[in-house]
Amino acid sequence: MYYPEFPPDCKSLLCKYLSPEIYASLKEKKTRYGFTLEQLIRSGVKNVDSGIGVYAGDEESYELFAPLLNPIIREYHGFGPEDRHISDMDPSHLRAENPDPEEKYILSTRIRVGRNLHCFPLGPNLARRERLIVECMVSDALKALDGELAGEYYPLLGMDEATKRQLIEDHFLFKEGDRFLEAAGLNRDWPEGRGIFHNREKTFLVWVNEEDELRIISMQPGGDIQAVFARLAKAVEELQKQLTFAFSERLGYITSCPTNLGTAMRASVHIKLPRLGAKMEAFKAITDRYDLQIRGIHGEHSESEGGVYDISNKRRLGITEVQAVQQMADGVVALIEAEKKL
Ligand code: ADP
Ligand code: ARG
């Protein structure tokens, strides 16, 4: 294995922080689960247009490969090696009244967290058999939920194409064939071991064995952020009674991509902002002020359609869950005000 080649205009954090010296000091290292530097950086080496470019194979990756990962974590989250993550998922601490009660702007609200089981490596380093055990443990835990959270698990294997397409189009199910995940080894043995759980109303969903072993999702039409957060907090609390998630005192919840560490939370709205959308500079000035990310409406790496955008918190580590949602909620209020003025 040689020091990888990056094009001169490469903008990934991998390319920025993988100096030949750091490369040389890490290239022979291996975690107890056998994960190497070569595996860690494969996605960003193959996809030189990556924003980040790395996926961890286990919790230990974050310690062993810290000379590369710490600077990436610092740049993305503003979180240094001496910092400690703190969690607060108490919905009574959130002040997020519906910013759009007349439903003129916000189409839907979604909050997700990523989780991984503490007794297994992360997805890029998960063996086929382990992935099946994870699927079995998670679907068993989900079966035990009741009330509003009760639902069914639908494995991807054997799901008919029309159902799958509809679930993806309706924003409930993950897409297939993501090239970043592919290069990280996260799509091995596809579709076996993957699936989606949801309640009858599709307001509570869990993705199994996508980028993380669990993506726990609460969503509903409109802008009732408080209700969406409360449902998510309840679901996480219930699942935690049955499953132990990978968690570190310093980094919070452990996820395969360093952008998701900490809260592992992305709180978003799909929001109609056609006027702001035509004035990208003004739009970005507001999202930067509230540390928000703009995505298209079919998820990451997709484009906006009809002036509808996905607006979410960018930072996930070093802020609490309540703060992450609060940032999104406050930013959305500012965006709606600006849209109204145009
Ligand atoms: P993640 O949320 O895990 O970071 P993506 O950005 O790929 O991943 O989004 C996953 C799916 O969730 C996509 O289909 C996207 O359109 C949908 N989604 C995200 N936010 C919302 C929202 N506020 N309302 C409805 N669907 C949403
Ligand atoms: N690996 C991709 C990149 O570096 C995605 C990074 C963040 N998104 C994610 N889904 N983890 O551009």
CA distance 303 to 312: 15
What's the pLDDT at 301? 83
Residue 313 backbone zone (phi > 0: left; psi -120 to 50: alpha; other: beta): beta
Give the model confidence (pLDDT) of 279-319 as tens digits.
Answer: 999 999 999 999 999 999 988 888 888 899 999 999 999 99
Q: How far is the CA of 15 from the centre of ligand 2 (A)?
A: 14
Q: Is 275 a catalytic residue?
A: no
**Structure letter (DSSP) for residue 265:** E
- Can 112 be counted among the known catalytic residues? yes
Confidence of residue 14 (pLDDT cuts 50, 70, 90): very high
Residue 233 near residue 225 (C-beta atoms within 8 A):
no
Question: Is 131 an active-site residue?
Answer: no
Q: What's the whole-number mean pLDDT along residues 149-178?
A: 96
Residue 220: count of CB within 10 angstroms of its CB: 16
To the nearest whole number, what is the mean pLDDT of the chain?
Answer: 97
Number of other residues whose CB lies within 10 A of the CB of residue 144: 12
pLDDT tens profile 20-47: 999 999 999 999 999 999 999 999 999 9
Q: Quote the pLDDT of residue 302.
A: 87
> What pLDDT does residue 73 have?
98
Nearest atom, ligand 1, residue 114 CA: 3
Return the pLDDT at 249: 95
Is the entire prediction scored with pTM above 0.85? yes
What is the reported pLDDT for 303?
A: 85
Q: How far apart are CA 305 and CA 315, in angstroms?
A: 25
Q: Please report which ligand is nearest the Cα atom of 181.
A: 2
**Nearest atom in ligand 2 to 53's CA:** 4
For the packed helices 321-341 and 280-289, what is the interaxial angle rounded to 10 degrees? 150
**What single-letter amino acid sits at 188?**
R
pLDDT in tens, 188-225: 999 999 999 999 999 999 999 999 999 999 999 999 99
What pLDDT was estimated at residue 72? 98
Residue 154 alpha carbon to ligand 1 centre in Å: 19
Closest ligand to Cα 266: 1
pLDDT at 326: 98
Spatial distance between the Cα atoms of 93 and 323, rounded to a whole number of angstroms = 9
Q: Is the pLDDT of residue 159 over 80?
A: yes
The pLDDT confidence band at residue 67, using thresholds 50, 70 and 90, is very high
Q: How far is the CA of 53 from the centre of ligand 2 (A)?
A: 7
Atom of ligand 2 nearest to the CA of 181: 1
User: Residue 300 has what pLDDT?
Assistant: 86
Let me know: does 216 contact 112? Beta carbons within 8 Å.
Answer: yes
Q: HSE (CB half, 13 Å, CA atoms) of 314?
A: 17
Q: Identify the structural domains of the chain with CATH numbers, from first to last.
A: 13-77 (1.10.135.10), 91-341 (3.30.590.10)
